[in-house]
């Protein structure tokens, strides 16, 4: 039978000699590999002093975007929740009331928008599915929390703050 790749190696079935039974050649190979690694550059980054460079396609925390006037872009269409393979996004839609035109772009908006970061696999499908560019994945890490509730981000945690608005710490 012909293999699909040329990576197959034939198995050596001959009986082991005395040195091979003692595993000395295998131990020697392991020592040589270990000795080579001593002189290589260390991959460790001293985090607070040095910042690691990320790939241009890195996907981090989710952000809910606003338009130039400060209104929310999300129209609660639900496409991001449907596209999410991990089912990490939940939302509830509501109708815009008179006088709220300065808060929401469309008549329909997301009254509740939550992302469970323990479920999220950072695939970016929500970002691709959104027709209004309301959600995108930033270049920020997800911070550590001590309780599971800290990983469920609500709408106020995800929205870009308005100019002059302070984000609660």
Dmax over Cα atoms in the chain, in whole Å?
Answer: 89
Q: Is 58 annotated as a binding residue?
A: no
Annotate 30-79 with three-state secondary structure: HHHHHHHHHCCCCCCCCCCCCCCCCCCCCCCCEEECECCCCCECCCCCCH
123 is in an annotated binding site: yes
Query: Is 120 assigned a ligand-binding role in the annotation?
Result: yes
How far from chain centre, in Å, is Cα 158?
Answer: 15
**Residue 84, annotated as binding a ligand:** yes
162 is in an annotated binding site: no
130 annotated as belonging to a binding site for a ligand: yes
Backbone phi and psi for residue 82, each to the nearest 5 degrees, phi listed first: -70, -35
**126 marked as binding residue:** yes
Q: Is 44 annotated for ligand binding? A: no
Positions at the binding site: 74, 77, 80, 84, 120, 123, 126, 130
Positions at the binding site for [4Fe-4S] cluster: 74, 77, 80, 84, 120, 123, 126, 130
């Amino acid at each position: 039978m012909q293999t699909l790749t040329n990576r197959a190696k034939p198995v050596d079935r001959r009986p082991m000699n005395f040195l091979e039974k003692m595993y000395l050649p295998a131990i020697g190979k392991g020592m040589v590999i270990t000795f080579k690694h001593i002189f290589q550059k260390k991959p460790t980054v001293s985090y607070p002093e040095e910042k690691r460079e990320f790939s241009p396609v890195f996907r981090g925390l989710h952000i809910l975007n606003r338009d130039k006037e400060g209104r929310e872009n999300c129209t609660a269409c639900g496409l991001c929740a449907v596209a999410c393979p991990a089912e990490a996004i939940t939302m509830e839609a509501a109708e815009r009331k008179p006088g709220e035109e300065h808060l929401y772009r469309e008549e329909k908006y997301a009254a509740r928008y939550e992302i469970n970061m323990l479920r999220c696999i950072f695939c970016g499908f929500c970002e691709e599915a959104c027709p209004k560019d309301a959600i995108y994945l930033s270049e920020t890490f997800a911070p550590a929390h001590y309780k599971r509730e800290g990983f469920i981000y609500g709408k106020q945690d995800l929205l870009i703050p308005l100019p002059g608005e302070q984000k609660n710490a």
